[in-house]
Chain A
Amino acid sequence: MAEFIAWVLVVAIAAYACAGGTDYGAGFWDLLAGGAERGKRPRWLIDHAMAPVWEANNVWLIFVLVIMWTGFPTMFQAVFSAMWLPLALAAVGLVLRGAGFALRKPTRRLAQQRIYGAMFAVSSLVTPFFLGAVLGGIASGHVEVGTTASAGAWANGTSVLTGLLAVAATAFLGAVFLCSDALRFGAADLVDYFRLRALLAFAAVVVLALIALPVTHDDARYVWDGLTGGMGLLLIVLAAVCGLATVLLVWRRTYGWSRYTSVASVALVVGAWGFAQRPYLLPTTLTVTEAAGAPHTLRWLMIVTAIAIVLVGPALVLLYRLDTMGELEELTDADTRAARAPGGDL
């Protein structure tokens, strides 16, 4: 049963990597969109594409944390003690990112928008880096129960590379999604704009992965072996196939399936990491069984999860469907202001 909850955790992390990652990627391209005039159009698209879904996407992270402390309290304690600084910085990044995005829209003045926009964009880069670095530190066995906060836990080759890979993967996801969004919003110029960026980001992912192979070989031996053999390897190969398929689709300008393949490639990598770590939660010191919380709690966690899937699943599907069908549109000033006119005589 602990095994099952561990897989729920992996799935939740994969979901956050995909859903949240897409938004981080959008923020990454916002950062690189250039000056106010040049970046106006891409930023407009990023805003409209992200606005309805970013809050829901963000909640996956909370869910990851809750499963960690309810299902595996010892692991939660160990990770948050050892990885204090990157997690604290990620939390600050989350605040700045959310506030920057939420406040940029209703703001009118260009100068203020620049500040909020910069907040949003920079923290979109910083937050996934640190979250990735934490995962890298865990995978390379730098976290043990009782490890106190130290730079060594996250300032090592594997951590830094995982952080960079996380940034590159989010940039890839973001660009692929923005291609489709541009098509949906009828902005033909932006389709090619983000098409180029999707391809560049994929190249970055490949380069980083190739660098990571020798660097992590000794540092994260257990996970390295897990990823180069058995189920781990199978999923990595599948992820690579999906990634290449995405590139092919984007290259040939057929955007119908590119989003699904890109999401699949990222999710499969997370899944492969899950297989590679088995049976450890913190390689190679803490197994899933050792870290598991009380059996009764785990059973209830499963029940709650099942109920939630029944309740949230349809709602989430509805949200994404409505969003991609273009049914969701921001309230405009015309709706909140000028709608006053008919009732003006009252």
Chain B
Amino acid sequence: MLSTVALLADSTPAQLLPARELMAFTLASHILLVPFGVALPFITLLMHHRALRRNDPVGLLLARRWSAVMAVQFAIGIITGTVLSFEFGLLWPGMMGRWGDVFGLGFGVEAWAFFLEAVLIAIYLYGWRRLKPWTHFWLAVPLPLAALMGAFGIIAANSWMNTPQGFSLDAQGKPIHVDVRQAIFTPMFGPEYWHFVVAMLLTAGYVVAGVYAVGWLRGRRDRYHRLGFTVPFTVAAILTPVQFMLGDSAARAVFHKQPIKFAATEIVWKTDTHVPEYMFGRLHPDGTISGGIKIPQLDSILAGFKPSTQVTGLTSVPASDRPTATQATIAHWAFDIMVTIGSLLILLALWYAWSWWRHRDNPGSRWFYRCAALAGVACLLTVECGWITTEVGRQPWIVYQHMRVSEAVTDTGAGALWAMLGIVIVVYVAVFGAFLAVVLKMRTRWRIADEGAAAARAEPPPETDTPYGPRSEPEPTATGAAPDGGSGHTSGGAS
């Protein structure tokens, strides 16, 4: 077995590249929706609770609209997530066949948590009209907990791939004596989990707030926009410094548990003390670094709080067991972009905190809202970066030091995989494009209605409601609403 491993290390199967590209593309797409799947229910419930407590129609309206967005987003998240579970088998049958019973249980937890989430979200989304307000709210309260459970399962699986344990190998290299608890609570689990959960809350908060920051910049400064901005932004701003600490401790955990990954993210070539920190820069295959800002000693200080800390370098393992120079550079850039954005977000959060401390109010500067509008997009970028750091930094391993990506890959030919990648890209671009278009359309329609309501103030509902009439009341569609819409609402009726 070991000899085959050595053989495989040299030969890269042709289907490896398309398989990795396909996995990367589908996961990169899916991960953009994850913050909303995990954290949007929480933020929505926060608004919902506030509105119910204060009997505030504006807050309720916001919560309802967010849940309308959640409905579409959750559906797209479910299908892109299902694709990923298929891909475990379609792309990496070697990994699942060998290790499925060691680390698969996390997915079992995730599947059930997800099931619960799907059920509860359905009740929440469709319960607005008929359920009693507080019953409706309380039925949704387990939702964020189910989301946390789901994240638990996924991160347990991923952290196991980073620091696999909870098994021993028999003579053929097959895992035996599986200990599930050890396999779930691996050394990287804690740091990864909290870093991830807070990242999701943070991202969802900044993205939602960003929508209303844009509205504020365009001169819509009513209470609706103020509230829609303040609640999610406060959640995100409180969590930003927390996330900074968590990220820092996660990086230190990587330093201790996955030294080669740490070396890649910090482009450390030789094991040494007094290692300098490079901001960006590029690692070449011969170990030299071009570009970037060099800060002497800092990497050692960050890793172990003193310049004499020894940092393991990439060359401490054979070239076949570590990321290539290009991969290391990618992981390094992803890591640095994430840290840079995180630091900038701290400044934004401090600005917000200072303004509330001094003026008991949101900052009034246009620049604050410009930054806030960008914060959401920047956060989505950091989510991608964090994921790239952890996945690319682990190369060439799929299970760190136990299985190479090339050993796990399917036998299906490269041609079929490239074709599949082409199809998936077309489908995903169409699906995500349509998703964005639908959400933007919702926003436009709401805005027009709000402007109409603010202008007319009289009784807009009957008029503004007509074009969408058939959707309002399912039962009377056939009779009541049909006459007044004509062909205009055919689409609505069939919707």
Q: Using CB atoms and an 8 Å cutoff, list the residues of chain A in contact with chain B.
A: 36-37, 39-41, 43-44, 47-48, 51-53, 55-56, 58-59, 61-63, 65-67, 69-74, 76-81, 84-85, 87-88, 90-92, 94-99, 101-110, 113, 116-117, 148-149, 185-187, 293-294, 296-298, 300-301, 304-305, 307-308, 311-312, 315-316, 318-319, 322-323, 326-346
A344, chain B: closest CB distance, angstroms? 5
Q: Using CB atoms and an 8 Å cutoff, list the residues of chain B in contact with chain A.
A: 56-58, 60-61, 64-65, 67-68, 71-72, 74-76, 78-83, 85-90, 93-94, 96-102, 104-105, 107-112, 114-116, 118-123, 125-131, 139, 167, 175-180, 222-224, 410-412, 416, 420, 423-424, 427-428, 430-431, 434-435, 438, 441-442, 445-446, 449-450, 453-454, 457, 459-461, 464-465, 468, 471-475, 477-478, 490-495
B369, chain A: closest CB distance, angstroms? 20
Asked, given contacts A70-B101, A95-B83, whether A88 binds B108 with beta carbons under 8 Å apart, the answer is: no
Most buried by B among A48, A52, A63, A99: A99
A138, chain B: closest CB distance, angstroms? 13
What residues of chain B lie closer than 8 Å to A87, measured between beta carbons? 86, 89-90
Question: Cβ of B180 and Cβ of A77 under 8 Å apart?
Answer: no
Asked, given contacts A56-B118, A113-B494, whether A329 binds B72 with beta carbons under 8 Å apart, the answer is: no
10 nearest CB pairs, A to B = A293-B101, A77-B97, A80-B89, A73-B100, A70-B104, A102-B75, A98-B79, A328-B126, A294-B178, A308-B112
Question: Cβ of B465 and Cβ of A337 under 8 Å apart?
Answer: yes
Asked, given contacts A109-B491, A308-B115, whether A73 binds B97 with beta carbons under 8 Å apart, the answer is: yes
Give 8 A-B pairs besides A65-B88, A92-B424 with Cβ atoms closer than 8 angstroms: A48-B474, A55-B74, A69-B88, A113-B491, A319-B119, A330-B471, A336-B61, A338-B453
Supply 14 A–B pairs (Cβ within 8 Å), ascending by A. Answer: A52-B126, A53-B122, A55-B74, A55-B75, A65-B85, A92-B423, A304-B109, A322-B123, A329-B129, A329-B130, A332-B129, A340-B449, A341-B459, A342-B57
Question: Cβ of A99 and Cβ of B76 under 8 Å apart?
Answer: yes
Q: What residue of chain A has the Cβ atom nearest to residue B439's Cβ? A: A106
What residues of chain B lie closer than 8 Å to A110, measured between beta carbons? 490-491
Q: What residue of chain B has the Cβ atom nearest to residue A328's Cβ? A: B126
Q: What residue of chain A has the Cβ atom nearest to residue B184's Cβ? A: A300
Asked, given contacts A55-B118, A108-B441, A336-B61, whether A331 binds B125 with beta carbons under 8 Å apart, the answer is: yes
Task: Specify which of B105, B121, B412, B450 is in contact with A55 (CB 8 Å cutoff).
Answer: B121
What residues of chain B lie closer than 8 Å to A41, measured between beta carbons? 478
Q: What residue of chain A has the Cβ atom nearest to residue B476's Cβ? A: A186
Task: Specify which of B102, B104, B412 is in contact with A84 (CB 8 Å cutoff).
Answer: B412
What residues of chain A lie closer than 8 Å to B428, measured between beta carbons? 95
Q: What residue of chain A has the Cβ atom nearest to residue B468's Cβ? A: A333
What residues of chain B lie closer than 8 Å to A72, measured between beta carbons? 100
Question: Cβ of B85 and Cβ of A56 under 8 Å apart?
Answer: no
Question: Cβ of B108 and Cβ of A331 under 8 Å apart?
Answer: no
Question: Cβ of A344 and Cβ of B453 under 8 Å apart?
Answer: yes
Cα separation A77 to B93 with both chains bound (whole Å): 5
What residues of chain A lie closer than 8 Å to B116, measured between beta carbons? 308, 311-312, 315
Cα separation A294 to B495 with both chains bound (whole Å): 49
Question: Cβ of A343 and Cβ of B224 under 8 Å apart?
Answer: yes
Question: Cβ of B115 and Cβ of A59 under 8 Å apart?
Answer: yes
A11, chain B: closest CB distance, angstroms? 14
A191, chain B: closest CB distance, angstroms? 13
B402, chain A: closest CB distance, angstroms? 15
What residues of chain A lie closer than 8 Å to B131, measured between beta carbons? 322, 327
A221, chain B: closest CB distance, angstroms? 27
Question: Cβ of A297 and Cβ of B105 under 8 Å apart?
Answer: yes
Cα separation A346 to B226 with both chains bound (whole Å): 11
What residues of chain B lie closer than 8 Å to A332, measured between beta carbons? 129, 468, 471-473
Asked, given contacts A81-B411, A297-B104, whether A107 binds B79 with beta carbons under 8 Å apart, the answer is: no
What residues of chain B lie closer than 8 Å to A102, measured between beta carbons? 71-72, 75-76, 79
Question: Cβ of A69 and Cβ of B460 under 8 Å apart?
Answer: no
Task: Specify which of B87, B121, B490 is in contact with A40 (CB 8 Å cutoff).
Answer: B490
Cα separation A56 to B114 with both chains bound (whole Å): 9
Question: Cβ of A40 and Cβ of B493 under 8 Å apart?
Answer: yes
Question: Cβ of B78 and Cβ of A326 under 8 Å apart?
Answer: no
Cα separation A191 to B478 with both chains bound (whole Å): 15
A331, chain B: closest CB distance, angstroms? 5
Question: Cβ of B86 and Cβ of A91 under 8 Å apart?
Answer: yes
Task: Specify which of B178, B427, B465 is in contact with A297 (CB 8 Å cutoff).
Answer: B178
Task: Specify which of B79, B412, B441, B454 is in contact with A149 (CB 8 Å cutoff).
Answer: B412
A106, chain B: closest CB distance, angstroms? 5
Question: Cβ of A95 and Cβ of B80 under 8 Å apart?
Answer: yes
Question: Cβ of B93 and Cβ of A80 under 8 Å apart?
Answer: yes
Task: Specify which of B104, B129, B438, B494 is in contact with A36 (CB 8 Å cutoff).
Answer: B494
Question: Cβ of B101 and Cβ of A297 under 8 Å apart?
Answer: yes
What residues of chain A lie closer than 8 Å to B427, measured between beta carbons? 92, 95-96
A180, chain B: closest CB distance, angstroms? 16
Q: What residue of chain B has the Cβ atom nearest to residue A60's Cβ? A: B115
Q: What residue of chain A has the Cβ atom nearest to residue B495's Cβ? A: A105
Q: What residue of chain B has the Cβ atom nearest to residue A74's Cβ? A: B97
Question: Cβ of A76 and Cβ of B122 under 8 Å apart?
Answer: no
What residues of chain A lie closer than 8 Å to B180, measured between beta carbons? 296-297, 300
Asked, given contacts A62-B82, A76-B96, A297-B104, whether A88 binds B472 with beta carbons under 8 Å apart, the answer is: no
A301, chain B: closest CB distance, angstroms? 6
What residues of chain A lie closer than 8 Å to B450, measured between beta carbons? 337, 340, 344
Cα separation A39 to B179 with both chains bound (whole Å): 56
A277, chain B: closest CB distance, angstroms? 20
Q: What residue of chain B has the Cβ atom nearest to residue A81's Cβ? A: B93
Asked, given contacts A44-B477, A95-B431, whether A77 binds B96 with beta carbons under 8 Å apart, the answer is: yes
A65, chain B: closest CB distance, angstroms? 5
B136, chain A: closest CB distance, angstroms? 10
B109, chain A: closest CB distance, angstroms? 6
Asked, given contacts A98-B79, A187-B478, A297-B102, whether A43 binds B494 with beta carbons under 8 Å apart, the answer is: yes
Task: Specify which of B81, B112, B430 is in contact with A304 (CB 8 Å cutoff).
Answer: B112
A282, chain B: closest CB distance, angstroms? 13
What residues of chain A lie closer than 8 Å to B125, measured between beta carbons? 52, 330-331
Q: What residue of chain A has the Cβ atom nearest to residue B423's Cβ? A: A92
Question: Cβ of B114 and Cβ of A59 under 8 Å apart?
Answer: yes
Most buried by A among B110, B129, B177, B434: B434
Question: Cβ of B76 and Cβ of A98 under 8 Å apart?
Answer: yes
Asked, given contacts A73-B100, A333-B468, A339-B64, whether A185 binds B127 with beta carbons under 8 Å apart, the answer is: no
Cα separation A113 to B492 with both chains bound (whole Å): 10
Asked, given contacts A98-B75, A297-B105, whether A44 binds B83 with beta carbons under 8 Å apart, the answer is: no
Cα separation A78 to B94 with both chains bound (whole Å): 10
Most buried by A among B71, B82, B177: B82
Task: Specify which of B75, B98, B478, B494 is in contact with A73 (CB 8 Å cutoff).
Answer: B98
Cα separation A100 to B68 with both chains bound (whole Å): 17
Cα separation A319 to B473 with both chains bound (whole Å): 21
Asked, given contacts A69-B104, A99-B434, A113-B495, whether A333 binds B471 with beta carbons under 8 Å apart, the answer is: yes
Asked, given contacts A76-B93, A312-B116, A312-B119, whether A340 binds B126 with beta carbons under 8 Å apart, the answer is: no
What residues of chain B lie closer than 8 Å to A117, measured between beta carbons? 494
Cα separation A72 to B98 with both chains bound (whole Å): 10
What residues of chain A lie closer than 8 Å to B473, measured between beta carbons? 332
Task: Specify which of A37, A73, A305, A335 is in contact with B64 (CB 8 Å cutoff).
Answer: A335
Cα separation A304 to B116 with both chains bound (whole Å): 13
B46, chain A: closest CB distance, angstroms? 18
B459, chain A: closest CB distance, angstroms? 7
Question: Cβ of B101 and Cβ of A311 under 8 Å apart?
Answer: no
